[in-house]
């Protein structure tokens, strides 16, 4: 069993880390990532959609675990706020109208 690799997104605010099972990679190797991370920052729910190609900027070992710092080759992912739905849903009452008499 190979130990999990720790992928560090160095260009993103807060430098998030992702645990993945990857083979041993070297400097300059490219990899495609697609995942979604969630966090709560100062009472705000945020999501980071990591999608695209990345390049290994630095590689090191922490004990048996490989630590990879990666850089985006395209658009750098960024944290986005999640808008919450209102807690109480407004329900429109049924329309009431005067009854019409048919003669």
pLDDT one-digit tens code per residue, 17-71: 999 998 888 999 999 999 999 998 888 899 999 999 999 999 999 888 999 999 9
In a domain, 29, yes or no: yes
**In degrees to the nearest 10, what's the CA dihedral of 45, 74, 56, 47?**
10
Residue 45 has a CB neighbour count (10 Å cut-off) of: 13
Alpha helices in 1-103 (DSSP H): none
- Give the residue numbers spanning the domain of 59: 5-81
Residues 35, 73: Cα–Cα separation, whole Å: 16
pTM across the whole model: 0.72
Q: Is residue 86 assigned to a domain?
A: no
Q: Is 103 within the bounds of a domain?
A: no
Residue 44 lies in a domain: yes
What tokens appear for 100 in the block?
Answer: 């019409």
Terminal CA-CA length for the chain: 85
**Predicted confidence band at 86 (pLDDT cuts at 50, 70, 90)?**
low
Q: Total structural domains in the chain?
A: 1
Number of neighbours of residue 46 by Cβ within 10 angstroms: 17
Q: What is the pLDDT of residue 1?
A: 57
List of residues 6+ apart from 94 with CB closer than 8 A: none
Q: Taking Cα atoms as reference points, which of 73, 56, 57 lies closest to residue 22?
A: 56
């Amino acid at each position: 069993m190979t130990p999990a690799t720790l992928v560090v997104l160095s260009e993103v605010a807060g430098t998030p880390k992702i645990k993945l099972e990857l083979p041993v990679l070297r400097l300059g190797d490219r990899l495609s990532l697609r995942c979604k991370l969630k966090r709560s920052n100062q009472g705000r729910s945020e999501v980071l959609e990591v999608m695209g190609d990345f390049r290994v900027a630095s590689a090191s070992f922490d004990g048996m675990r490989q630590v990879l710092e990666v850089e985006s080759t395209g658009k750098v992912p960024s944290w986005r706020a999640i808008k919450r739905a209102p807690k109480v849903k407004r329900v429109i009452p049924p329309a009431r109208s005067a009854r019409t008499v048919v003669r």
